[in-house]
Amino acid sequence: MRDIQDIPQPAFDSELNTVIVELEKLREKRLSGTVPPYVFFQLKEIFQTLESIGSNRIEGNRTTVTEYAEKVITGVSPDTDESMREIVNLDNAIDFLEKKIEPGKAITRSLLSEAHKLIVKDLSLPPDGEGSKNPGAYRQEPVCITGSDVETSQYGLVPAHCDELFDFINAEYATQYHLLVIALAHHRMTVIHPFDNGNGRLVRLLTYAQLLQQGFSVKSGRILNPTAIFCDNRDIYYEKLSEADAWTNTGLLNWCLYVLKGLAREIEKIDNLLDRGYLCTQILVPMLDRSKKNKYITEEEYQILRFITNQSKDMTLRAGDLEQILGVTQSVPRSRIINRALEKKLIQPIEENGRIYTLSFFGNYMFRELTQLLVEKGFVPKSLNAKSD
Ligand SMILES: Nc1ncnc2c1ncn2[C@@H]1O[C@H](COP(=O)(O)OP(=O)(O)OP(=O)(O)O)[C@@H](O)[C@H]1O
Ligand SMILES: [Mg+2]
């Protein structure tokens, strides 16, 4: 067990301690919501992308959630649009980490290098773009953090400081220190600033990686969006990091409180969304109402989608349901209706060659309303929809 001398100790009766206890209760909690997995995983994908937009926006990508939704609907390719490529790169890095990291598994230099390569892949170099001169390799030059006077590691010491950081992250600790280590590692990595560019995006992924390592059920059960903690308000994020830069117990513990309170808030928010009652009344039904009003869907399509959302026990549609929904009893017109909804990407089969369908959130104009609603209901920071910040 690692010596915990270099971890500041929260007081027993402190707010930080209370948050740690709350979060510990949530650590192993599996998906308890009533939203079926084929809907849950689509939502997870949306959140992951919104997270990527958020992490990029901190560093200057100007894509708003609305613009992103339009690009998805109209099929803009990341091959021709660099700001889309930044977002896709982060998505790919998240997927990579989710595949590679199991609870209890070490977070290594090579894992982080691979993630860095994915983040900066095919991006132009600064000042024009957000790429890196040496993807995956530590920097060979001094670097400053814009807007901060913290002294980053001398470049010759970066490998040694990173090794120390990996030791710090991967050591065994008593449970009550795990969450503190996640928060402290984030700050430590920002101070090392190991790469020539992309450190901000990478450090937020490190936090995600550590949550996976610590068994927070992000993969299977919970759509966790740790970046939302930081990108909600960049000024507060930077201010709290500056407090930690003083390296005092108070500064470090304040930083930990900021990170862990944000994490608890995110988990609570997402758990709401996994409740079918909440999801339907607050998000999906308004999405359908607005889509009908804006003529993205016809009355008939609206009835079908309302059935899947509200009436169907497992949020699915079978051809036979069209009798109850629209009074259609013949198989030919039923197939025609279903094929048209599939073509418009309003529904999708839940298994290959299957004849059971569920809602589809991507590739149709309802996606515009969905992303707007997520912003309005506070699931996505409003700053992600402001043109400048
Ligand atoms: N006072 C501070 N102390 C430590 N780290 C800080 C401080 N202020 C900001 N940071 C961190 O530094 C990052 C910004 O630094 P910088 O712009 O050099 O990053 P970068 O390498 O360009 O990363 P990216 O390309 O992803 O933006 C922030 O995202 C944050 O993580
Ligand atoms: Mg940068």
Instruction: Tell me the pLDDT tens digit for each residue of 319-355.
Output: 999 999 999 999 999 999 999 999 999 999 997 667 9
Rounded CA separation 118/89 (Å): 6
Q: 274-302 pLDDT, tens per residue? A: 889 999 999 999 999 999 999 999 999 99
Alpha carbon distances (Å) from 56 to 185, 228, 271, 319: 20, 12, 25, 43
Q: Pick the range with the lowest mean pLDDT from 136-140, 242-246, 363-367.
A: 363-367
Which of 121, 189, 190, 196 is the pocket-test mutation for ligand 1 (most atoms within 8 Å of CB)?
Answer: 190
The closest alpha carbon to 119, from 227, 199, 211, 224, belongs to: 199
Q: Among the atoms of ligand 1, which is closest to the Cα of residue 55?
A: 26
- 15-273 with 276-376: one CATH topology? no
Q: Give buried/exposed letters for 83-103 (b at 16+ CB in 10 A, else e).
A: bbbbbbbbbbbbebbeebbee
pLDDT at residue 353, as a whole number: 65
Check: pTM over 0.85? Answer yes or no. yes
pLDDT at residue 146, as a whole number: 87
Amino acid, single-letter form, for residue 97? L
Least distant ligand from the CA of 187: 1
Q: 361-379 pLDDT, tens per residue? A: 987 899 999 999 988 888 8
pLDDT at residue 58, as a whole number: 82
Which of 90, 139, 238 is the pocket-test mutation for ligand 1 (most atoms within 8 Å of CB)?
Answer: 238
The answer to whether the bond into 127 is cis (omega within 30° of 0) is: yes
Question: What's the whole-number mean pLDDT along residues 122-129?
Answer: 94
Residues with CB under 5 A from ligand 2 (ion): 59, 197
**131 CB within 6 A, ligand 1:** no
Domain 276-376 has CATH 2.60.120.650: no
**145 CB within 6 A, ligand 1:** yes
Residue 264's contacts (CB-CB under 8 Å, 6 or more residues apart) are 19, 22, 23, 26
Residue 153's contacts (CB-CB under 8 Å, 6 or more residues apart) are 161, 191, 192, 193, 194
Q: Give buried/exposed letters for 285-315 (b at 16+ CB in 10 A, else e).
A: ebbbebbbeeebbeeebbebbbbbbeebeeb
Domain 15-273 has CATH 1.10.3290.10: yes
Amino acid, single-letter form, for residue 85? R
Name the pairing type of β-strands 357-359 and 347-349: antiparallel
Range list of H helices, the chain: 15-27, 37-58, 65-74, 82-100, 109-120, 158-170, 178-192, 199-213, 226-231, 234-245, 249-273, 276-278, 285-293, 299-306, 321-326, 331-343, 366-376
The closest alpha carbon to 287, from 369, 358, 378, 379, belongs to: 369
Contacts 24+ apart (CB under 8 A), 331-340: 337/300, 337/304
pLDDT at residue 243, as a whole number: 96
The alpha carbon of 222 is separated from its chain's Cα centroid by a whole number of angstroms, namely 11
Q: 77-109 pLDDT, tens per residue? A: 888 899 899 999 998 998 899 899 988 999 999
Q: What is the CA radius of gyration of the chain?
A: 23
**189 CB within 6 A, ligand 1:** no
Report the nearest-CA residue for atom 28 of ligand 1.
200
Segments making up each domain of the chain, as ranges: 15-273, 276-376
**59 CB within 6 A, ligand 1:** yes
Q: How close is the Cα of 236 to the center of ligand 2, in Å?
A: 19
Sign of the alpha-carbon torsion through 139, 140, 145, 151: positive
pLDDT at residue 223, as a whole number: 63
**200 CB within 6 A, ligand 1:** yes
The alpha carbon of 276 is separated from its chain's Cα centroid by a whole number of angstroms, namely 20
